[in-house]
Amino acid sequence: MADLQSYLVLFLIWLVSTILVRSIFTRFKTKARLPPSPMALPIIGHLHLLAPLPHQALHKLSNRYGPLIHLFLGSVPCVVASSPEMAKEFLKTHETSFCNRPQTAAVDYLTYGSSDFSFAPYGPYWKFMKKLCMSELLGGRTLDQLLPVRREEITKFVQFLLNKAEAGEAVDVGGQLLRVTNNVISRMSMSERCSENEHEADDVAKLVKAIAELTGKFNLSDFIWFCKNLDLQGLRKRLKEVHDRFDSLMERILQEHEEARKKEKERDGAYAVKDLLDILLDISEDQSAEMRLSRENIKAFILDIFAAGTDTSAITTEWALAELINHPTMMEKARREIDSVIGKSRLVEESDIVNLPYLQAIVKETLRLHPTGPIILRESSQHCTIGGYEIPAKTRLFVNVWAIGRDPKHWESPLEFRPERFVSQSEGSAGKSQLDVRGQHFHLLPFGSGRRGCPGTSLALQVVQTTLATLIQCFEWKVPGGDGTVEMEEGPGITLPRAHPLVCVPMARLDPFPSISSSTKIQQ
């Protein structure tokens, strides 16, 4: 027994010594000309500095050490860019060196071995999918064809809220917005509405939340080299459960689509409007296609659409409404603009948004203060020099979008919610600001920038702006209890959720469906 204990002690001494030597050697090897860095701890490096909200923690570090800092997250070398100038260096000047996204255990497993588009390595497959997204899947023609889907879901949402208003019942606004965006994305992607079945709707919502949580959750095996093959946090079981649930859902929907397509082919028919899944299946069956899509590629792409398009749009709309509730004069100004353009006899449409510059400004200001992607994550594919510092290959890059949106060098009173900063006062501007959110202005990067910027920006803006305009147009919002204001604390997560749900009582200020009796209105 004594011999066993001695061997165990010797093994532990050897293990700790190996870890310390490796840690010291790694830092010594990469020490020359690296950006400034805080004091690191053995083994974990700077991991202890990031909890509980990484974007806020990195912002505090950048205030102390500068706009470009170097960190070790466990054994993984990282750099953090926290200013527009540094962001431009990485995302534009040296973009080709930072076109990859780092692979994590969770993402790799959930996306069928990185068979998706968002996390696929920069190369022929990614370029093909990018071109496909811009020309077909998320291009203007497809979005226009699927406009009736979005319009119908907004209508159902308003009718649901009118019923709640009539009953005087409080609504979890964020939860209901997530259901709406789930329905929109589900119908556009697969011609299925999630909430036809209450149980299935809850399952889909939970599935989307679980995917967002797992892909954003810290995993020891991604950062501590000797934990790579260990599952100390028990994440693999959860990953397998979520993956299996999603795979089962997709297999059912794929089989239904394939059967429907077969029947249409036998009748020499064609779909009047194809959903995204039909377009992907067309490409996978096209023998002359530039690149054949596998079943896993299709499933992984639909997963991308759900993960990136539902939670994010709902959270942005929820933050915007919360800010307006806390700023009633801005809410009233937005209502006057909507009433003057649309009137009070019909519901606001996507085509009206171009004539609502103040509403657009509200959404831009929300994205500045509450970006649903608070950190852009990339990885260097080759060695490069930035700002006089050496950045080795395989270094992870964090661009702190949240901090950049609060940079006092580029924003006056950066912590204040002021949509007016996005409304131009110059003649001939029609009240529209030239400052856009599509990645051309590096002090405003809610959708990223460059080749790996978000391809769904147009869809996201259409959904968020139209939904928010509807909530402003049709309802006043009362916060139960307290002083009527909303807490604005952020919660943990990859998509910047609110720490506290936005629960309000809607009060109808107009009924945009006067010709429809309450007994025949569509129930959600």
- Quick check: 97 and 384 in contact, CB under 8 A? yes
Tokens 């831009």 — which residue? 364
**CA separation, residue 260 to residues 71, 255, 266, 271, 471 (Å):** 53, 9, 10, 10, 37
> Where does 30-160 show beta strands of DSSP type E?
68-73, 76-81
- CA distance linking residue 100 with residue 137, whole number of Å: 22
> 54-79: string of b/e by CB count within 10 Å (b at 16+)?
bbebbbebbeebebbbbbbbbbbbbb
Bind-site residues: 454
Three-state DSSP at 253 gives helix
**For residues 443 and 377, what is the distance between their CA atoms, to the nearest angstrom?**
17
CA-to-CA distance for 404 and 417, rounded, in angstroms?
Answer: 15
Specify burial of residue 86 (Cβ count, 10 A radius: 0-12, 13-18, 19+): buried
Say how far apart CA 433 and CA 426 lie, in whole Å.
9
Instruction: State the binding site for heme.
Output: 454
Place of tokens 């397998």: 240
What is the sign, positive or negative, of the torsion defined by CA atoms of 359, 360, 363, 369? negative
Taking the C-alpha atoms of residue 439 and residue 456, their distance in angstroms, rounded to an integer, is 13
Cβ-based burial of 492 (10 A; exposed 0-12, middle 13-18, buried ≥19):
middle
Q: How far is CA 45 from CA 48, 146, 173, 308, 492, in A?
A: 8, 49, 40, 30, 22
Burial class (CB in 10 A: 0-12, 13-18, 19+), 338: buried
Cβ contacts of residue 136 below 8 Å, gap of 6+?
A: 142, 279
Distance of alpha carbon 304 from alpha carbon 301, whole angstroms: 5
DSSP 8-state code for residue 442: T
CA distances from 187 to 43, 86, 180, 389 (A): 47, 40, 11, 48
Following CA atoms 130, 132, 137, 138 in sequence, which dihedral angle do they give, to the nearest 10 degrees?
A: 40
User: Tokens 């998706």 belong to which residue?
Assistant: 116
**Residue 318 CA, distance from chain mean position:** 14
Q: How far apart are CA 350 and CA 408, in angstroms?
A: 34
